A = this chain, B = another copy of it.
């Protein structure tokens, strides 16, 4: 009895959430995502379908919740020593992750018709990263960029093309967007060395391998 009393409120709830999220990720990896069903996820997680309906409402809300968890930042953007390269490396990585097959599915999943808060959370993650880069710049005594400008003219076009699937996203394209950011200090806008990617802009790693190595897309 003493032991039981020490189990915190929400412990069972947290275990259910974890089991269901893990079931979605295992099934998403193994089967066609379009064919996922609530009963199938419930069976995989060892809960009843009604537990899932009660907690999430429907499949799309559950998928949105899982997507938000996986898109949640687990590390700060890389510190390259200067604001322009911090931003460039972050945006290159953001584009690479979000345009991978896993990333594209997560970006879409967030827009469940039954949850207004999921997209707001995800937009907030990107803003947090940019805020970190700006704070770091200020601490160094550098001029920083305007976060809204970067969201409108760099992040938004990347997300737009991922969602509408109407153009290939290349490093050159990514740099052309960054070149238009008026508030970014010009003299350091393009350092010689690109720490996380080859100088010729080629992708060396396969998409799955990329997902495994990146810092921000959660794997479990």
In the bound complex, CA of A19 to CA of B18 (Å):
42
| Residues in B neighbouring A109, C-beta threshold 8 A | 113
In the bound complex, CA of A57 to CA of B148 (Å):
39
Q: How far is the CB of A54 from chain B (nearest CB, A)?
A: 15
| Residues in B neighbouring A123, C-beta threshold 8 A | 164-166
A60 touches B (CB below 8 Å): yes
In the bound complex, CA of A167 to CA of B151 (Å):
11
A1-42 CB mask vs B (1 if < 8 Å, else 0) is: 000000000000000000000000000000001100000000
Q: A34-B57, A108-B113 are in contact. List 15 more A-B contacts (CB 8 A).
A: A109-B113, A111-B163, A119-B164, A120-B164, A120-B165, A123-B164, A123-B166, A151-B157, A152-B160, A153-B153, A156-B156, A156-B159, A156-B160, A156-B161, A180-B180
